[in-house]
Structure 1
Amino acid sequence: MAKRPGPPPPELPELVRAEDRISFICLEHAVIHRDQNAITATDARGTVHIPAASLGALLLGPGTSVTHQAIVLLAESGSTAVWVGEQGVRYYAHGRSLARRSRLLDAQARLVSNQSSRLAVARAMYGMRFADEEVGTLTMQQLRGREGARVRAIYRNESRRTGVPWTGRTYDPDDFAGGDVINTALTSAHQCLYGVVHAVVVALGGTPGLGFVHTGHARSFVFDIADLYKAEITIPIAFDAVAAGPEDIESATRHAVRDAIVANGVLSRCSRDIRTLLLPTDETEANLLDNVVELWDGQGRHVASGRSYGTGE
């Protein structure tokens, strides 16, 4: 039999468990290539080798170019490539998920399709944001009311802390520059965070569109997860940026968010939080690299694929 062209893919034992991998590496202004089973990144300072089997997602920032063989190696190693802006603060496109199994995607679809489980996930999200409140028995309407009061208080507190006037969160998506300076800074900061969260969701194999609190938008789940970090990261940064009075508020805000995302390990935290919310406790450490294809048999049962079923088997 003729040998298949191209380098052979890594054997499964060579691959590192998803939980033990380097979660994300962001590269900018570099040429990405392949050397055996390693990804190489070359810039003006030289070349570094990155073992593809231990990499979760490769974030390709501005000024990068990537070869076909590098993408092949990432795909065969259960990693993914995500095209982003500076240090991951804009999301543009992505390759295949690092997950070979659809466990996380299946769980997301199942949880969002049932009213009780969807409410349970929404409560868990609010619990992550407001750890000092008991939310276990609240309805969705009550959760929204509590959230509204808490978020308004956060904005007022940041206004008092920084001296930046605050009259409310108002902006026109069709006239970005038409609002006041603090709303412009907040929008810039939140958009950066959305880009990072979107990259994490697709890298893990989830879908951005199936949200639990937000709904009806192609990035509803992205908005859900991003809300977990706004009070800690993007809201204070936006107020600080306006208080500093830079000439270019949008640029200053984006750079501050970029640095905070790196300093606070948001990529790793986001990955952990998504799995905690969607997967049962005993499955959060499950290996997503298992290359298994099954057939649905009804009533929650699965059967093996790769065989013919029916009479005369």
Structure 2
Amino acid sequence: MSTVGRRGAATPRELTRVGDRSSFLYLERCKVSRDNNAITATDADGVRHIPSATIGTLLLGPGTEVTHQAMTLLGDSGAGVVWVGERAVRYYAGGRALNRSSSLAEAQASAWANQQRRLGVARAMYRLRFPDEDPSSCTRQQLLGMEGRRLKECYRRESARTGVPWLRRDYDREDFAAGDAANQAVTAAAQCMYGVAHAVVAALGCSPALGFVHSGHELSFVMDVADLYKVEAAIPAAFDAAAEGPEDVAGRTRRALRDRIHATGLLERCVGDVQSLLGAAPGGTDRMTVQSDWGIRLESGRNHDDGNEW
């Protein structure tokens, strides 16, 4: 019988595209293991089998245990894995790229390393958020002001639509329950959006750390991408959940946001938006080369010595 270590890694052609996957799956108080090409979730109610290639992000809540074999399968499938603390206050993530090519990562690094191009990508991100405005001449400070006003208007609009009272964004990182129902729901929705964005970023082979609006954090680019859809998807789902009352508001928020992401095809849009923002063509090759002078790429796995003995 072959062991997990002897099984070959799946090729990109064998894997389900990230845009076609379920956005995220939340599990808590269970043991996550592996049965062939499915992960299993075992709790007091029995065993559930979940095909690994259909998962965009697996959110592991309190009381979960995960085996090495399950993580091997999830990594090979390109699924993001996020450990979520009690009531979604803490966030940790990891994953393996579905896109084995480095083309998008190189395009991201090239744009990030040039100050003007970095600002250009930031402006393009705001253009996605403000389709009726032209931010091409805005400074970074002006862009941040536009975003701040947009969020305040969104909170007021969703409060009026749902009848949920709203004073201001107020939450305690150390005490999730300290906030009112609306703030708890917004926090839970944000954590889920970070998980989804991280799954897309990792699946495309980009760096989570090289952000264009956010900076200095290991998930800067993840936050950039998640913010593109905050007003459209996360905040409305949060207020819908809060409108049903404070009981299990985080769980209802996750379910409402998951349904909204699926209904709007947001995962597929997210993939296209990231590729467009970085100015890279979809796909790319995962052929390994080595760098030479004048941009020439040489075949790897060869000795390129000119014949001199060492």
Asked if 2 retains the 8 angstrom alpha-carbon contact of 1:91 and 1:196, the reply is no
Give SS of 2:128's match.
helix
Does 2:125 match 1:128? no
- For 1:33 and 1:248, how far apart are their aligned partners in 2? 31
Which amino acid counterpart does residue 276 of structure 2 have in structure 1? T
1:170-221: CA deviation from partner (whole Å, max 9, x where unpaired) = 2232333223332222111111111111122112211211111011111111
- For 1:183 and 1:177, how far apart are their aligned partners in 2? 9
Deviation at 1:22, TM superposition (A): 6.9
Provide closer, same or farther for how the CA distance between residues 129 and 268 of structure 1 changes in structure 2, counting only shifts above 3 A. Answer: same
Which residue of structure 2 lines up, in the alignment, with residue 261 of structure 1?
Answer: 261
- For 1:279 and 1:18, how far apart are their aligned partners in 2? 24
| Alignment RMSD | 3.5
Which residue of structure 1 lines up, in the alignment, with residue 13 of structure 2?
Answer: 16
- For 1:249 and 1:46, how far apart are their aligned partners in 2? 25
Instruction: Compare 151-160 and 299-308 and name the one that shifted more.
Output: 299-308
Asked if 2 retains the 8 angstrom alpha-carbon contact of 1:32 and 1:64, the reply is no
Which residue of structure 2 lines up, in the alignment, with residue 301 of structure 1?
Answer: 296
- For 2:21 and 2:204, how far apart are their aligned partners in 1? 11
Does 2:229 match 1:229? yes
- For 1:184 and 1:9, how far apart are their aligned partners in 2? 40
Deviation at 1:275, TM superposition (A): 1.4
Which amino acid counterpart does residue 167 of structure 1 have in structure 2? L
Q: What TM-score do you get using the length of structure 2 for normalisation?
A: 0.76
Deviation at 1:155, TM superposition (A): 1.5
Aligned residues: 288
Asked if 2 retains the 8 angstrom alpha-carbon contact of 1:297 and 1:303, the reply is yes
- For 2:267 and 2:8, how far apart are their aligned partners in 1? 31
1:225-251: CA deviation from partner (whole Å, max 9, x where unpaired) = 111111111111222222222423222
Which amino acid counterpart does residue 304 of structure 2 have in structure 1? Y
Asked if 2 retains the 8 angstrom alpha-carbon contact of 1:9 and 1:73, the reply is no
What does 1:230-249 correspond to in 2, within 5 Å?
Answer: 230-249=230-249
Give SS of 1:183's match.
helix
- For 2:288 and 2:303, how far apart are their aligned partners in 1? 14
- For 1:96 and 1:138, how far apart are their aligned partners in 2? 36
Report % sequence identity.
43
1:83 aligns with one of 58, 75, 81: 81
Asked if 2 retains the 8 angstrom alpha-carbon contact of 1:60 and 1:83, the reply is yes
What does 1:6-85 correspond to in 2, within 5 Å?
Answer: 6=6, 16=13, 23-25=20-22, 32-34=34-36, 39=37, 59-60=57-58, 68=69, 71=72, 75=76, 79-84=77-82
- For 1:221 and 1:210, how far apart are their aligned partners in 2? 5
Does 2:217 match 1:217? yes
Instruction: Compare 20-29 and 206-215 and name the one that shifted more.
Output: 20-29
- For 2:192 and 2:73, how far apart are their aligned partners in 1? 29
Provide closer, same or farther for how the CA distance between residues 9 and 155 of structure 1 changes in structure 2, counting only shifts above 3 A. Answer: closer
Which residue of structure 1 lines up, in the alignment, with residue 306 of structure 2?
Answer: 311
Give SS of 1:303's match.
strand
- For 1:242 and 1:20, how far apart are their aligned partners in 2? 33
- For 1:8 and 1:200, how far apart are their aligned partners in 2? 23
- Structure 1 gap segments, 5+ residues each: none
What does 1:88-237 correspond to in 2, within 5 Å?
Answer: 93-237=93-237
Which amino acid counterpart does residue 81 of structure 2 have in structure 1? W
Deviation at 1:113, TM superposition (A): 1.1
Asked if 2 retains the 8 angstrom alpha-carbon contact of 1:171 and 1:179, the reply is yes
1:27-58: CA deviation from partner (whole Å, max 9, x where unpaired) = 77986444xxxx3578989989x7x9xx5866
Provide closer, same or farther for how the CA distance between residues 252 and 264 of structure 1 changes in structure 2, counting only shifts above 3 A. Answer: same
- Structure 2 gap segments, 5+ residues each: none
Provide closer, same or farther for how the CA distance between residues 72 and 19 of structure 1 changes in structure 2, counting only shifts above 3 A. Answer: closer
